[in-house]
Chain A
């Protein structure tokens, strides 16, 4: 049967220093607002093969809904105004679930592309059907020549995916409903984290806006983000890794 555990907080092993953001909170000394802390949230889902894309899109879009604003329009005297963000309801075809995403075709296309690559990698890996995808929000810090710009993450969402194979149609139908319910729980978890109003980058000046936001989209402006994924085996070690730049950034001190 399909099983998935609720969201569990794991401290990611990539960045320094880390702080648990779930009560009871363990403060690890570093002050808020310096951009050095990165909170990490992990969500786990168990889905059927055909549900992988929709489940991931639902989670990623829900996070990005909260982490996107309207386009900034800077005016004189250092003031700016913000555009309007539209939303739309998306029904899943293989899951009894509806999620809300920002109305931006460009953003949706970008997410679908990377989720499609993840699904293909999962299928081709021939492993146990385990993988994880990470959505990381970061800030760019300009370094002087010859050093390249630093990418400092401030929030990482990791979705661990476990693909199950079901035999009968009845099991698939039950899976549809159960995964729908689990995704409802995930959305509630995401909203709970968002509601803590923890560290967010300071609103940038016009010259700094590209270090904080992704201004390349036409209609919305999400925080700078990058998505990476890896296929893991049962022990959790990485079998293949994409986006090696992520590792390089970590090692570049």
Chain B
């Protein structure tokens, strides 16, 4: 029934719907960046603020949205969806919300496009601003950082609600009737936040340590990639530059008339301009209670405008495109190193502000710590030449065994101190447990148990002998079996004699007791 709608109205309506879709995506993604959004009111119309609302345009997000739309508009069966998901540092991910902009067939012919529809779309955007702060994913996104990040994905077509788990809830943001159909904006969100592992899907290992501009073919070319919902303030020389509004961004300078609708004046002018780079402040980094995560893995970012990480159906596959650098308010670059992570981990921020070359960082982090006691020096001094105390017992350099007294014991095994003797006995018995490389003695040797710091002065035995002997003491006589051979009758017979003896000594016993009192 396009004949009912003038061509001008039809064009305006299409434009409204297109920019409404773009602004919707901006609002949703910005609400999941993890920080508070603040824009200023302006009493004089600038002409560039669609729907009379100050909503900044993040170029990357606009680019992704336009790519997903590919020149089409939401229509029946073709919805624009923004999927918000959470991804942990271990690579597990979970869909949190799906925001849907749908169109159905219920038309409102009477409505005025340039006035009522426009104002109602503006109201719907305000409602979206309010609702995006109210779903559970908002609080999660405010706490994203080291342990998990929030990603978004835009797709166009049929709504896919499978990934939201059981019992997901829906909230309707609002509807606006137009002459070509009714626009509906709604959100389906997961309520079961129990973390599910996606390990049943094939998981590629995290792709780390790649040069920044390395691209990996995505195995699922049909699905659109995931993007992080946080990003660094890039300033003027952004490392990742997207084509910022090269095509004409149509500016809506609407004039409204208070006269009857037939005289409604509506002017639209085209202008070329560059959307300002949004300023993002640092995010709050508080771990989410109740979810156990390990350290975040930092992935090198990518340059260029084409993200290639797969997302469906396996969220477990590593999105190799994430840019998760954090930023401090003072400067634009901040590198996080997690030394306790695996050796493959390194942090490379995608900065190319010239502060530090990424390769330099690569090298700095990949240097492994040299183990202690590793002596790479070729020079070897003999034991006698070392002037450190207890030189005999200093760790030996195993590489040069010729001077090692342990390997080649001196001819006289008896020495002044037993300790030294013990060393020699170790040595004589074959090089001890240390073993030097190239030791030709037997692998297993009998080592005398020689406790340290024991001497033979006081006792004819040393501590070790004492210990050994008294580890196996003889059994108590009363517990030995021989006693059991004695019969009970003999015990009883001997009792009277014992009693007589005790009675004789009663006075002694009494005197003894008195001394105790």
Contact = CB atoms under 8 A, between A and B. Distances in A.
Interface of A: 62, 65-66, 69-71, 73, 75, 77-91, 96, 98-100, 102-104, 184, 187-188, 190-192, 194-195, 197, 203-206, 218-220
B113 to A, nearest CB: 15
A191 B255 contact: no
A17 B171 CA distance: 32
**Interface centre among A77, A80, A87, by most B CB within 10 Å?**
A87
B251 to A, nearest CB: 12
A73 B42 CA distance: 12
B131 A81 contact: no
B258 A205 contact: yes
Interface stretch (B120-128, B315-323, B432-440, B507-515): B120-128
5 contacts: A84-B45, A85-B53, A87-B39, A195-B124, A218-B43
Interface in B138-184: 138-139, 142, 171-176
A58 to B, nearest CB: 10
B109 interface: no
Nearest to A107: B41
Contact of B41 (A85, A187, A203, A204): A85
Interface of B: 36-46, 49, 52-54, 115, 120, 123-124, 126-127, 129-131, 133-135, 138-139, 142, 171-176, 253-259, 263, 265
A88 B171 CA distance: 22
A66 B265 contact: no
A82 B39 CA distance: 17
Given A82-B256, A219-B42, A195 B174 contact: yes
Enumerate the 10 nearest inter-chain pairs by beta-carbon distance, A residue then B residue, closest first: A195-B174, A219-B41, A86-B39, A89-B36, A86-B54, A88-B38, A86-B41, A71-B43, A79-B255, A84-B49
Given A70-B52, A82-B256, A187-B134, 17 more contacts: A62-B130, A70-B42, A71-B44, A83-B43, A85-B41, A85-B54, A86-B40, A87-B39, A87-B126, A88-B36, A90-B36, A98-B36, A98-B133, A102-B41, A104-B41, A187-B133, A195-B172
A71 to B, nearest CB: 4
Nearest to A200: B119
B258 A70 contact: no
Contacts of A82: 45, 52, 254, 256
Contacts of A192: 172
**Interface centre among A86, A103, A190, by most B CB within 10 Å?**
A86
A188 B258 contact: no
Given A65-B130, A66-B123, A86 B42 contact: yes
A98 B171 CA distance: 18
Contacts of A85: 41, 52-54
Contacts of A91: 36
A85 B421 CA distance: 91
A77 B130 contact: no
Nearest to A75: B255
B43 A70 contact: yes
**Interface centre among A69, A85, A188, A192, by most B CB within 10 Å?**
A85
A191 B131 contact: yes
B126 A66 contact: yes
A219 B43 contact: yes
B36 A83 contact: no
B54 A84 contact: yes
Contacts of A188: 131, 134, 171
Contacts of B46: 84
Nearest to A103: B41
B173 A187 contact: no
A23 to B, nearest CB: 14
Contacts of A219: 41-43
A187 B135 CA distance: 10
Contacts of A90: 36
Nearest to A183: B134
A103 B127 contact: no
B256 A79 contact: yes
Contacts of B40: 86, 103
A84 B41 contact: yes
Nearest to B136: A184
Contacts of A62: 130
Contacts of B257: 77-80
A63 to B, nearest CB: 10
Contacts of B255: 75, 79-81
B127 A194 contact: yes
